[in-house]
Amino acid sequence: KVEAVESQTDVLIIGAGPAGLMAAYWMAVCGVKARIIDKRGTKVFTGQADGLRPRTLEIFDSMGFQHRVIHEGHVAVEANFWVPDEAGKLTRQGPHCSPKINESNHHNMLLNQGRIERFLIDTISKYSDLEVERGIIAESFEYDEKLEEDLDAYPITVKLRTLSDEEANPGHISKDGSGSQPANGQGRGSVLPDDWEELIQKSRLRQTKTEIVKAKFIIGCDGAHSWTRKQVNILLEGSSTEHIWGVIDVVPLSNFPDMRRLGTITHSSGTILVIPRERRLVRLYVPVQIVDSTSANRFDRSAITLEMIKSRVQAIMSPYTFDFQICDWWTAYQVGQRVAPAFNKGTRIFLAGDAVHTHSPKVGLGMNMSMQDGFNIGWKLAMVVVGAANPAILDTYNAERHPLAEMLLEFDRLWSGEFTETTDADGPAAPDKADRMVHVVEKYMDFADGLRTYYPASPLVWKVSEEEGPEAARNLIPGERFSPIKLRNQAEGNSKWTTRLLESDGCYRIIVLAGDVRVEEQKKRVEALGRFLSAEDKTMISPLHRYVPIPGRKDQIEVITIHSAPWKEVEFFDFPEIFRPFDPVMGWGYDDIWCDNSCTWDPHCGGQGYEKWGVDRTRGAMLVLRPDQYIGWVGELEEVKDMTDYLDGVLIKMPTPEV
Ligand code: FAD
């Protein structure tokens, strides 16, 4: 029976993979009327992505679930490259560890994509009743461009159809996963108890119905074969690689010494990537076949079997042994390196994740990039929809994320090339193989780990230079993330990483690096800033209580103070009250004042933040952080007008009360 229903929503998210869930998180946090649909009957349980980069983990920390990743995941920071020596014997080169390993408080981790989706779904449910509507496919699309300028209008019309149980749960991995092929081994043994509900839902009876949804905005997070992208005629540009790869997640039985270490094994017939995972699983990426595109008999990917992949591993690893009893998941894939020329169509339609960039999984970045796309468009769109931010900020989504996708493809081409390059069939691998691999990794390390983002100048990013921050804070570069430090709380003595302190809760933050407030002149500067922020100085306008907050917040801006004096030599109450506001119910703002001091009981709390940020320990500095912890503006404590101008360009002022 077909029921036609009509409805309206402010934001419609198509696809509930990592990118869509990340965007949905912001809708939940900011109280946006939104929906998220996915044609699959359940989320992912096994397979697909597993690599998590430091910046992604910092984001998880700001969202409050990184402890779950630490609890379940596997840390892998050192890589070993095994290559044949002159006598042809496999020899370890390494270990190689990033020289920037401690730039972030989080290190590369491995954990199945399905678990990340679980954590995202659970986190969303803490903020709102926004739930993924599964087994629903988007099928038709209309866009009325004439309505684009009217923010109250619903220019997008999408027809949704509830799929039959069979259509929604075809019993294999979706074809959308970066070109992975369906129907391969997917072990149920790996479904953890908190994922069972998903499987139970899968068996519920579905009633086929169609629904016409009118939306103000749409975010297409619908994977490599994106339906949304096709609706707006954006074509991916790039090419397909000619190699077929096998990937297996197994519990290996092997005498290879580095079976539980990250690394590569190179043999004359190819290179395998070894990735240790949670629950004793190891993922292996294995070159299986070079496709001869000119041949009439093109190699059929579906002809690849688990046994074939296993034999290839055994051949490359020989004389070491390799076998397994448990295979959690496996697939064979052939990937294209492609990127969309634009990640948006006008101001109402946005695309994120694999929908706009596809590449090989060996760089371990697809899930990371996709989530970071969703994170980026998510906060901007959510704040625009609730009337808290200027719609012009939506233009920065493409400007910030598109160049990174280009960089991703560049990295992937070089890195994948190292795996597919062929050598003389009987000869040893190139002697400098390991060095070349290290060189490629190091060249793209900052980008891949997310330590640098290179967001360009825009209304959201006020830059003085591409390479360094303003004089007051040389290493705090607008457009980059706020580099993490562990701080000591002034009132409590507890220590906390800034990645946890600066929560992704939708507010803008003014970070007052108050310097050494024991110095009389510096104390006066801080007090003058306090007078300005508390609007005691009537000659100027304070940015506090000036802008429309997102629903549920009293103010759109929070002030966090980090001073550099020894904590014992200053008191919490020495700071102007505006820096530690009093709430009649919750008391003083003890969480708002921190010091960059070393902590005898916590070796990570080293009191070196000001040095890392390039800030004078006496004079301090001031910065504005966007809700995604990227630096928007930096200046001196006195540059209050400039800072307010920055905020005026981004946030919407509250209407002046009528007299
Ligand atoms: P997807 O995860 O593909 O989600 C898209 C969703 O949209 C799907 O759930 C789909 O059902 C839904 N959908 C599609 N069309 C419609 C429609 N018309 N209506 C409704 N719903 C629709 N990345 C890493 O970062 N690290 C790794 O180590 C890594 N390893 C990988 C290994 C393999 C073998 C593969 C295949 C991928 C790997 N990736 C890795 C890539 C990673 O899985 C993807 O980049 C990531 O899943 C992309 O997220 P996404 O949300 O953009 O898209």
Identify the band that residue 293 occupies on the pLDDT scale cut at 50, 70 and 90.
low
In whole angstroms, give the CA distance from residue 354 to residue 225.
8
Identify the band that residue 539 occupies on the pLDDT scale cut at 50, 70 and 90.
confident
Q: Which of 356, 380, 411 is the last residue of a domain?
A: 411
Per residue, the 3-state secondary structure of 209-260, as one string, reads CEEEEEEEEEEECCCCCCHHHHHCCCCCEEEECCEEEEEEEEEEEECCCCCC
Q: What is the mean pLDDT of residues 525-529?
A: 97
Q: Which has the minimum average pLDDT: 106-115, 190-199, 436-445, 514-523?
A: 190-199
- Judge if the beta carbon of residue 109 lies within 6 A of ligand 1: no
What's the pLDDT at 97? Answer: 86
- Judge if the beta carbon of residue 105 lies within 6 A of ligand 1: no
Q: Does 359 lie in the same domain as 228? A: yes
Contacts 24+ apart (CB under 8 A), 172-176: 173/44, 173/47, 173/48, 173/329, 173/331, 174/40, 174/223, 175/225, 176/17, 176/222, 176/223, 176/224, 176/225, 176/354
- Judge if the beta carbon of residue 368 lies within 6 A of ligand 1: yes
User: What digits encode the pLDDT tens for the residues 399-435?
Assistant: 999 999 999 998 888 887 777 655 444 444 565 777 7
Task: Compare 179 and 602 and report the one with higher pLDDT.
Answer: 602
- Judge if the beta carbon of residue 650 lies within 6 A of ligand 1: no
The verdict on ipTM greater than 0.85 is yes
Q: Is residue 254 part of a domain?
A: no
**Chain-wide mean pLDDT for the chain?**
88
Q: What is the mean pLDDT of residues 89-114?
A: 90
Position in ligand 1 atom list of the atom nearest CA 352: 52
What's the pLDDT at 658? Answer: 64
Task: Domain of residue 118: give its range.
Answer: 4-80+106-240+339-411
Q: What is the mean pLDDT of residues 14-20?
A: 97
Answer yes or no: are the C-beta atoms of 648 and 541 closer than 8 Å.
no
Q: Which of 411, 434, 451 is the last residue of a domain?
A: 411
Identify the band that residue 245 occupies on the pLDDT scale cut at 50, 70 and 90.
confident
In whole angstroms, give the CA distance from residue 319 to residue 322.
9
Helix, strand or coil, per DSSP, at residue 267? strand
Q: Which has the minimum average pLDDT: 49-53, 181-185, 438-442?
A: 181-185
- Judge if the beta carbon of residue 228 lies within 6 A of ligand 1: no
What's the pLDDT at 200? Answer: 56
Ligand 1 pocket check: which of 25, 39, 351, 360 to mutate, most ligand atoms within 8 Å of Cβ? 39
Q: Does 526 lie in the same domain as 393? A: no
- Judge if the beta carbon of residue 269 lies within 6 A of ligand 1: no
User: What digits encode the pLDDT tens for the residues 54-85?
Assistant: 999 999 999 999 999 999 999 998 999 999 98
What's the pLDDT at 620? Answer: 98
Q: Which has the minimum average pLDDT: 34-43, 379-388, 583-592, 640-649?
A: 34-43
Q: Does 497 lie in the same domain as 395? A: no
Q: Is residue 225 part of a domain?
A: yes
Q: Does 216 lie in the same domain as 355? A: yes
Tally of structural domains, the chain? 2
Return the residue whose CA atom lies nearest to atom 12 of ligand 1. Answer: 15
What's the pLDDT at 230? Answer: 96
- Judge if the beta carbon of residue 18 lies within 6 A of ligand 1: yes
pLDDT above 50 (res 46): yes
> CA-CA distances (angstroms) from residue 280 to 74, 261, 606?
9, 11, 35
Q: Does 490 lie in the same domain as 394? A: no
Q: Which residues are identified as catalytic?
A: 50, 277, 285, 361
Q: Which two tokens stand for residue 414?
A: 């070089």
Ligand 1 centre from 229 Cα, in Å? 15
Q: Is residue 378 part of a domain?
A: yes
Q: Does 30 lie in the same domain as 179? A: yes
Ligand 1 pocket check: which of 50, 159, 350, 370 to mutate, most ligand atoms within 8 Å of Cβ? 370
Read off the CATH number of the domain in which 173 is found: 3.50.50.60
User: What digits encode the pLDDT tens for the residues 172-201?
Assistant: 433 333 333 333 444 444 567 677 666 556
Ligand 1 centre from 175 Cα, in Å? 9
Position in ligand 1 atom list of the atom nearest CA 176: 3
What's the pLDDT at 623? Answer: 97
User: What digits encode the pLDDT tens for the residues 246-264?
Assistant: 999 999 999 999 999 999 9
- Judge if the beta carbon of residue 137 lies within 6 A of ligand 1: yes
What's the pLDDT at 538? Answer: 75
Q: What is the mean pLDDT of residues 602-624?
A: 96
Read off the CATH number of the domain in which 521 is found: 3.40.30.20
Q: Does 507 lie in the same domain as 375? A: no
Q: Does 378 lie in the same domain as 495? A: no
Q: Is residue 287 part of a domain?
A: no
Selection from 355, 346, 352, 348 nearest residue 373 by Cα: 352
What's the pLDDT at 185? Answer: 42
Answer yes or no: are the C-beta atoms of 124 and 24 closer than 8 Å.
yes
Q: Is residue 591 part of a domain?
A: yes
pLDDT above 80 (res 314): yes
Ligand 1 pocket check: which of 176, 226, 350 to mutate, most ligand atoms within 8 Å of Cβ? 176
